[in-house]
A and B are shown apart, each in its own frame.
Chain A
């Protein structure tokens, strides 16, 4: 039978954790495939998750490709479909299709220093790269992670980030002054300038709100990072994930197929419509 690219497979929710409470809640889900062998993925790729009756959302796969048995997704409650995700419980079955998009060229980064800069829910799309680098620790040099949220409550993967300090430098921040907060206070791009990571033999990978990415890239360049040393992953409204419905079209690219991972060298060639 010919494959139907629009027909999802099914996956069961086996784990739910509230990362961030409140209005801009983030929940982490682990799902396991139930009606198929599932698919392998590479760092940076995404999947279309369905809550039938509500719709589909394109979500980055947050687990490393080296993890077997489940896929991890961290989803912020933003609208109609993502609210439905937040109502899911362990045992619920959702639709899943993928993997979609291109991936971070992690093989080409062996032997390099990796600098990760994330904000808000933007830590999730770059998390698989961090996890893969940690699992294959000897293949990479220095790992540095900059990550911040509006307040300490908005910081996701708290436990994992603390554990990460064993093998990487982790610099957290909150946007505004907060009682009991010991680390940097200010926006993530400012924290970056505060610590001044070296561009020497380094790759910078950033993801977060559009305005954060803009200033992070600016700051990285001022620190001496070249355009091909800077990587990001784009967020667009997406519906098909297959390069056909036109919604994520930016310049000649459909971001769902040619992206969402872009080096700044490539991204600056596209019209600024994202």
Chain B
């Protein structure tokens, strides 16, 4: 279904969502981030570029406790699994690039072995997206990777900003339900509303974005350039932090560790945390052998995984073009510039 909501009633709609925990982008501590909205306390407005961190935390938190263990020496250990018990959550203002992350994460976390922690969080999560009339960042490139500023993949609702009101378009049955909760606040869209939205969409698609040269053949060209010395040269400023990975909507590498609370009797938890292929010791064996000792190999791994390997396995780029890795990199390593330079053919 498709409705019109006046902007000043956005907070009322959120207040009407009984049984849901609502989140919206708030400027806090100097950055935009998704914060819980306390009914009646916060007034929500969605005039914002994009959040510093993607909504990845809602399905794949930085720290996930898998289970606790308790063991007295000589006896069998007792394991107690700790499953997520989130209330249903709805996130407002999600940009289409962040919505696109969900189909990628869904494939990865459900492929062959279904990840119950991801699933439980995922099935309790709804996204109310916000189309991008203009690119939120100069580093946006959703179009280059098969996306669009009005894409609906992964979203339950897509809202289009028509100035003083939103065109609210349900994408899934959950989207319909969310609208039903506040049905009295909505009105029917007029022909003019729809025409305006259509024009905004056409204009948005024409907005300049950064471009990956010939993105359709990027997987093949990256494969051909595996041994290029440019990788090491372009990766030279890399400091080996985790910003590109942690700010990425689709990066999912993780570590699993046992954290011990007391040694005897043994009590502790097995915990999953974010990890990144950019840390120098990510692939290091116990023996000290490390398949990727040089920073060029690690940069190549991340970019190849996003734009070649994932594509070969699942038929879609893993990168959604949000541009956060470009804006966030402390030393300006730019995935678009790197890909274009490494795969440059003489004609380019």
Contacts and interface: CB of A to CB of B under 8 A. Distances in A.
Contact of B75 (A93, A236, A251, A257): A93
A2 interface: yes
A239 B79 contact: no
A54 B254 contact: no
A7 interface: yes
A22 to B, nearest CB: 16
Given A7-B67, A53-B263, A245 B254 contact: yes
A247 interface: yes
Interface string B70-83: 01001111010101
Pick from A12, A35, A93 the residue with the most CB of B within 10 Å.
Answer: A93
A10 interface: yes
Nearest to B289: A210
A52 B79 CA distance: 10
A215 interface: no
Interface string B264-276: 0010101010010
Interface residues of B, number: 53
B226 to A, nearest CB: 6
Nearest to A94: B77
A63 interface: no
Contacts of B85: none
A7 B76 CA distance: 15
Contacts of A237: 283-286
B254 A246 contact: yes
Specify the main secondary structure of chain A where it touches its partner. Answer: loop
Pick from B79, B109, B266, B305 the residue with the most CB of A within 10 Å.
Answer: B79
Interface string B284-323: 1111010110000100010001001100110000000000
B254 A6 contact: no
A43 B101 CA distance: 37
A79 B312 contact: no
Contacts of B272: 6
Interface string A29-70: 000001100000000000000001111100000000000000
Contacts of B74: 91-92
A239 B260 CA distance: 18
A237 B256 CA distance: 12
B255 A78 contact: no
Interface stretch (B36-44, B111-119, B174-182): B111-119
B81 A4 contact: yes
B58 interface: no
B252 A244 contact: yes
A48 to B, nearest CB: 10
Nearest to B264: A53
Given A2-B116, A246-B253, A52 B258 contact: yes
B116 to A, nearest CB: 5
Contacts of A257: 112
A53 B313 CA distance: 35
Nearest to A246: B253
B112 A249 contact: no
Given A5-B114, A5-B116, A257-B112, A251 B289 contact: no
Contacts of B333: none
B140 to A, nearest CB: 26
A3 interface: yes
B69 interface: yes
A273 B291 contact: yes
Contact of A252 (B81, B254, B255, B312): B312
Contacts of A3: 114, 116
B112 A243 contact: yes
A235 B254 contact: no
A251 B268 contact: no
Pick from A53, A55, A82, A240 the residue with the most CB of B within 10 Å.
Answer: A53
Contact of B77 (A78, A93, A271): A93
Nearest to B263: A53
B47 to A, nearest CB: 36
Contacts of A273: 283, 291-292, 297, 301
B256 to A, nearest CB: 5
Contacts of B277: 246, 249
Contact of A245 (B275, B291, B292): B275
Contact of B309 (A5, A91, A244, A251): A251
A53 B261 CA distance: 9
B287 A249 contact: no
A16 interface: no
A186 to B, nearest CB: 23
A8 interface: yes
A64 to B, nearest CB: 25
B289 to A, nearest CB: 7
Contact of B255 (A92, A245, A251): A245
Interface string B216-255: 0000000000100000000000000000000000001111
Given A6-B115, A53-B69, A237-B284, 16 more contacts: A6-B117, A10-B76, A12-B76, A35-B76, A52-B266, A56-B256, A210-B289, A237-B283, A239-B255, A244-B111, A244-B254, A245-B253, A247-B253, A250-B291, A273-B283, A273-B292
15 contacts: A2-B116, A3-B116, A6-B67, A35-B76, A79-B286, A93-B71, A93-B76, A236-B285, A244-B113, A244-B115, A246-B277, A246-B305, A251-B309, A273-B283, A273-B291
List the 9 closest A-B pairs by CB distance, nearest first. Answer: A79-B286, A246-B253, A78-B286, A252-B309, A93-B76, A52-B69, A252-B312, A242-B113, A273-B291
